[in-house]
C-alpha cells in the first residue's frame, strides 16, 4: 500500500513544486532575443490548438512532436506529417503532396492557390471555401488520446484488482473508490433518484474523470501535458451536446409535456413554447461556456503572470511571478476538480429533471 501511494504523493509534490520553473523554461526559449515579446501572441498560441506539439527550443530551433495532418480535400483524403510545414504559420511555406498545394496560416491549413487570393479578413478557420476539411490529430486530439489511454489503463487495473480482492480496497483502488462512490452517492443518487441513477452512472463517472484528468493534465506545463483541452470550446461543446442528447432521449412524458404543453392558458403557448425550447438549449450552453471559460481563464492568468517577467525584462520579477504562478496553479488544481464536479453535477441534475416522476399532474 505504501508503495502504491508514495509515488503518487511524490509526483504530485514534484509537479506542484516545479510548476513555475517549468513554465519559465517553457516560455523562456520560445522567443528569440531580437524579436519583440508579444504576450497575447504567446498566450493565444498556448491556449489554442496546433498541428504539432511544441516541446522546447534548442539553440533557436524548435523541438516539436510532429503529429499527422489529415485533410479531406476536393480530391479525397490526404495524410502527411506536420513536419512538412517547417514550423511555418505565416502562409509562406507551400507543402505539396499528391499534386495538391497547402499553406498554413495561424494553424489553419488552406489551399495554396485560394490562400494567395484571400483578403486578410477572410483568413479564418470558418472559411470552408478556401480550405480543406481538417481532421488532423492535433495537439488537443493527441492530449485527449493520451489522457483516455491513461485513464483506461488506471481504471482497468483497478477493476481487475476487484476480482482478486473482495475485501476492503487497497492501493489505487482505495484511492479511486471513494471518488467513484462520491459520484454515486453525492451526484447521481441525490439528483436522479435511487431508482434510475444506475443507468446513468457510467456516463457521469466517465465525464467526471475525463474532464478532471484533462483539467489536471492541462496544468502540467510540459510535454505530453499542458494542452488546454478542457478550455477549448469545441471540446466542451461536444461534451455538453452529449449531455443534451442523453437528457433529451431519456426525457419522459412529463418532461416533454412541460416543454410543448406547459400548464398555462393555451393563448400563451406561442410565447411559452419558444421560451421552453430556449430553456432546453441554455442548459447545455451554460455547461459548455462554464467549463471553457473557467479553464481558459486559469491558463491565461498563469501565462500572463509568467509573461510579466518578459514584459518587465527583469529577472527580479521572476520570484514574484513564481510565487503568484504557484498560488494560481494550486488554485487551478482546485478549479480542475471543481469544474469536473460541476459539469457532472449539472449533467446529473438535467438528467434528473428529464426522468423525474411528477405526482402533481
Partner 1 sequence: MNFTAPESLIFWTTIIFVVFFFLMKKFAWKPILGAVKSREESINNALKSAENAKIEMQNLQADNENLLKEARAEREAMLKDAREIKNKMIDDAKEEAQTQANKMIAQAQAAIESEKKSAMAELKNHVAGLSVDIAEKVVRQELTNKDKQLALVESLLGEAKLN
Is 97 in a helix, a strand, or coil? strand
Q: For residue 28, give Cα distances in angstroms to 61, 157, 303, 307, 308.
A: 13, 39, 12, 9, 12
Place of cell 438535467: 350
Q: Rounded distance, CA 252 to CA 274, Å?
A: 19
CB of 319 to partner 1, least distance (A): 30
Residue whose C-alpha is closest to residue 50's, from 164, 176, 143: 143
Q: How many chain residues interact with partner 1 (CB under 8 A)? A: 57
Which alpha helices (H) appear in the chain, and where do they start and end? 2-28, 39-47, 112-116, 139-164, 171-182, 189-192, 197-219, 233-250, 253-260, 269-312, 317-355
Structure-block grid coordinates of residue 129: 471555401
CB of 126 to partner 1, least distance (A): 7
Which positions from 193 through 212 interact with partner 1, judged by CB under 8 A?
A: 198, 201-203, 205-206, 210
Q: Please report whether residue 237 would count as binding partner 1 according to CB under 8 A.
A: yes
CB of 203 to partner 1, least distance (A): 7
Q: What is the largest CA-CA distance in the chain?
A: 74
CB of 244 to partner 1, least distance (A): 13
Which positions from 102 through 161 interact with partner 1, judged by CB under 8 A?
A: 106-109, 124-126, 131, 133-138, 140-141, 144-145, 148, 151-152, 155-156, 158-160
For partner 1, the closer CB: 44 or 353? 44
For partner 1, the closer CB: 14 or 157? 157
CB of 318 to partner 1, least distance (A): 26
CB of 246 to partner 1, least distance (A): 11
Task: Give the pairing type, strands 52-58 and 108-111.
Answer: unpaired
Which positions from 280 through 299 interact with partner 1, judged by CB under 8 A?
A: 296
Q: Rounded distance, CA 321 to CA 304, Å?
A: 9
For partner 1, the closer CB: 155 or 341? 155
Q: What secondary structure does DSSP assign to 152-181, as a single string?
A: HHHHHHHHHHHHH--SS--HHHHHHHHHHH
Contact track, partner 1, 41-70, x by CB under 8 A: ---xx-xxxxx------------------x
Q: Please report whether residue 238 would count as binding partner 1 according to CB under 8 A.
A: yes
Q: Where along the sequence are the contacts to partner 1 (CB under 8 A)?
A: 44-45, 47-51, 70, 106-109, 124-126, 131, 133-138, 140-141, 144-145, 148, 151-152, 155-156, 158-160, 162-163, 166-167, 177, 180-181, 184, 198, 201-203, 205-206, 210, 232, 234-235, 237-239, 242, 296
Amino acid at each position: 500500500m505504501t508503495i502504491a501511494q508514495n509515488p503518487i504523493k511524490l509526483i504530485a509534490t514534484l509537479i506542484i513544486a516545479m510548476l513555475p520553473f517549468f513554465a519559465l523554461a517553457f516560455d523562456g526559449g520560445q522567443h528569440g532575443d531580437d524579436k519583440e515579446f508579444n504576450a497575447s501572441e504567446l498566450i493565444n498560441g498556448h491556449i489554442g490548438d496546433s498541428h504539432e506539439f511544441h516541446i522546447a527550443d534548442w539553440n533557436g530551433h524548435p523541438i516539436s512532436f510532429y503529429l499527422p495532418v489529415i485533410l479531406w480535400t476536393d480530391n479525397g483524403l490526404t495524410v502527411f506529417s506536420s513536419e512538412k510545414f517547417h514550423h511555418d504559420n505565416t502562409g509562406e511555406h507551400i507543402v505539396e503532396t499528391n499534386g495538391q498545394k497547402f499553406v498554413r496560416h495561424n494553424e489553419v491549413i488552406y489551399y495554396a492557390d485560394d490562400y494567395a487570393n484571400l483578403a486578410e479578413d477572410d483568413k479564418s478557420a470558418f472559411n470552408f471555401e478556401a480550405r480543406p476539411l481538417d481532421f488532423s490529430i492535433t495537439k488537443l486530439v493527441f492530449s485527449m488520446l493520451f489522457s483516455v489511454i491513461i485513464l483506461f489503463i488506471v481504471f482497468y487495473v483497478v477493476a481487475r484488482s476487484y476480482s482478486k480482492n473482495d475485501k476492503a480496497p487497497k492501493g489505487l483502488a482505495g484511492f479511486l473508490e471513494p471518488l467513484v462512490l462520491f459520484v454515486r452517492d453525492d451526484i447521481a443518487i441525490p439528483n436522479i433518484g435511487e431508482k434510475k441513477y444506475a443507468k446513468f452512472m457510467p456516463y457521469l463517472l466517465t465525464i467526471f474523470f475525463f474532464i478532471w484528468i484533462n483539467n489536471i493534465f492541462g496544468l502540467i506545463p510540459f510535454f505530453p501535458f499542458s494542452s488546454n483541452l478542457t478550455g477549448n470550446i469545441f471540446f466542451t461543446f461536444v461534451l455538453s451536446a452529449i449531455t443534451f442528447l442523453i437528457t433529451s432521449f431519456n426525457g419522459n412524458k412529463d418532461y416533454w409535456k412541460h416543454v410543448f404543453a406547459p400548464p398555462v392558458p393555451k393563448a400563451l403557448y406561442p410565447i411559452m413554447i419558444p421560451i421552453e425550447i430556449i430553456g432546453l438549449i441554455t442548459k447545455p450552453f451554460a455547461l459548455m461556456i462554464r467549463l471553457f471559460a473557467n479553464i481558459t481563464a486559469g491558463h491565461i492568468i498563469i501565462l500572463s503572470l509568467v509573461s510579466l517577467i518578459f514584459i518587465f525584462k527583469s529577472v527580479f520579477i521572476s520570484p514574484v511571478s513564481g510565487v503568484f504562478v504557484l498560488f494560481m496553479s494550486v488554485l487551478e488544481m482546485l478549479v480542475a476538480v471543481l469544474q469536473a464536479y460541476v459539469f457532472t453535477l449539472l449533467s446529473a441534475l438535467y438528467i434528473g429533471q428529464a426522468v423525474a416522476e411528477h405526482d402533481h399532474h
